[in-house]
Homo-oligomer: A and B are copies of this chain.
């Protein structure tokens, strides 16, 4: 099986392409998808699969979401493209009250096998309505799987799993990392949900993170290593289910935990990680447990203001050193 270097956006394109070739019930819908999608993630899909399986829709987010559900209920497998995460706010009833609950409410009769793709995160001065990260919300929402990859290979493998999943999957494309390159196999194998990737091995400290901030975390870890602090760096890859065993085992080893999130710290997923570790290991076995994330403010537009709220390698290094103190 050959491997090639591609961008993340090409990796997810190849993953969706492979699955649409494999399974004729898979299709994609969303604004501008016939044209290849806003980021080219569906480039050349229209000529190959036709307008019935590559459906450019009106600007009708609630129906994009709700029609995806309806189409799943009769046996198709829609990829619901939300364009930019923030617009899912126009489709929350369909996602939260319908998709997430329908299997349960109906006692198992419904299988809402949809993938909802929501490119999220800070993206070059796009300001408050195009930069949000609220992935932790959906971890709190029963009925959905939450996928937050950071590398081309993980994004591709997890998208394959998402498309094959009978559970509804919320797939957070890390839109700021779309141009990042990495190796992807020519046949993309599914990656199981709930298994973290050990991005770097250490002994002094456990750094847990996910999605678009991972490159900054790895950069920070390299800096820390150069200064003699060896961190276990864990990329969770999926937030529900999430790899509690890997994180707890690492903190058992290192005694120290730092969770790094691009999202707002307050009531974010980092709190879940810290709490779970403290509850599982007991406070006595944890020397330090802390979170780094954005302050509780909307994302500002201007570069220096945006920089102020962004988590950077320098801030991660500082937080890691504080955790070591």
Contacts and interface: CB of A to CB of B under 8 A. Distances in A.
A185 interface: no
B105 A97 contact: no
A127 B97 CA distance: 11
A100 B284 CA distance: 39
B278 A289 contact: yes
A228 to B, nearest CB: 24
Interface stretch (A33-41, A67-75, A85-93, A147-155): A85-93
A297 B143 CA distance: 7
A101 interface: yes
Interface string A122-147: 00000111000010110111110000
Contacts of A60: none
A225 B105 CA distance: 39
Contacts of A271: 267, 271-272, 274-276
A290 B282 CA distance: 9
Interface string A264-300: 1011111110111011001110111111000011101
Interface of A: 86-87, 89-90, 92-93, 95-97, 100-101, 104-105, 127-129, 134, 136-137, 139-143, 240, 263-264, 266-272, 274-276, 278-279, 282-284, 286-291, 296-298, 300
